Amino acid sequence: MNELMTDHTAAVAARNLAGRAGYDPGFLGVPVPIPALPAVKTVLLPYTHFSVMMRPDKRLAAVTALAMDGKKLMDLDRSGIAWRLDPRLPEDQQTGERVYARNDLDRGHLVRRASAVWGDTRAEAAQANEDTFYYTNAAPQAAKFNQGMELWLGLESYLQENAADNSRRIVVFTGPIFGDTDPVYRGVDIPLRFFKVAAFLHHGELAATGYVVDQTPQLTDLPEIRRPSAIDDAPPLGPFRTFQVPIRDIAALTALDLDQLTAVDRMPIAAALPSARVASTWRELHSAEDLDLDFDLGE
């Protein structure tokens, strides 16, 4: 696919995105703003029901923010929708098809397509469906689908159905966790881990939970991986492992301002061990029933 845009086609495409409202911080009835990333240049791009805060230096999102209304979800087909660059951002500040061509890397949706496809009308849901296919909403992930990835994708739906109040509204922040050992491939850092923070109302009170998915490969030559110049082939990525983690750990790993959601973290150990070192209290999940929450989902 040819990614290059003429000035005219870029202008037309940008006009087509005009008027997108993006993520609504008041969606839950209490203000939940997009987490800030102090001291790092970012660009906020609004879409339908979600926004992407891009890091031009990484050519990937720092965080995506999704408002999901479970009462208005629609089941729309994804066939025929092509991935495309966002014309509102220079091409050299986003990761396009070149990184995903001729390898086993997948364009991993950060905002889950099925979670964004809702609305009062089919046209609204269809627009959200198409908006999830901008490269700004993608990050390189292992193409092989497995049980760990299935769990990761289903967490927000599980929480919405079992923890959120009857409005069935949930807010989801998702993004890469950039690390010093991330391999560099075709000029782009390949994040080995991603985070998800879900926020919702439980019995009228703001609640949140945090998760990390790890696709770290089992590499024997880690020092070589750390040298970007040595990476010519796509890095081998291992099975997805999903963890429930304290939100404060995500804040420490990403430098995102998550103070509001850290304060309402419903993972019991987050409150019991507030000074535990990062990653020491992570809980590996094998199914959604493994979630450790300080309330009864059957309430």
- Measured in whole angstroms, how far is the alpha carbon of residue 223 from the centre of its chain? 28
Instruction: Return the domain boundaries, the chain.
Output: 7-290
Domain 7-290: give its CATH architecture.
Answer: 3-Layer(aba) Sandwich (3.40)
Rg of the chain over all Cα atoms, to the nearest angstrom: 19
Cα–Cα dist 111/174, whole Å: 7
Tell me which residue has tokens 């689908």: 145
Task: pLDDT tens for the chain, 299 residues: list them.
Answer: 445 555 545 555 667 898 899 999 999 999 999 999 998 999 999 999 999 999 999 999 999 999 999 999 999 998 889 999 999 999 999 999 999 998 888 999 999 999 999 999 999 999 999 999 999 999 999 887 677 888 998 999 999 999 899 889 999 999 999 999 898 999 999 999 999 999 999 999 999 999 999 998 754 444 444 444 445 578 888 888 999 999 999 999 999 999 999 999 999 999 899 889 999 999 999 999 999 998 877 55
Considering the entire predicted model, what is its pTM? 0.91
Amino acid identity, position 257: D
Are 241 and 214 a contacting pair, CB within 8 Å?
yes
Which of 82, 69, 74 is CA-nearest to residue 126?
A: 74
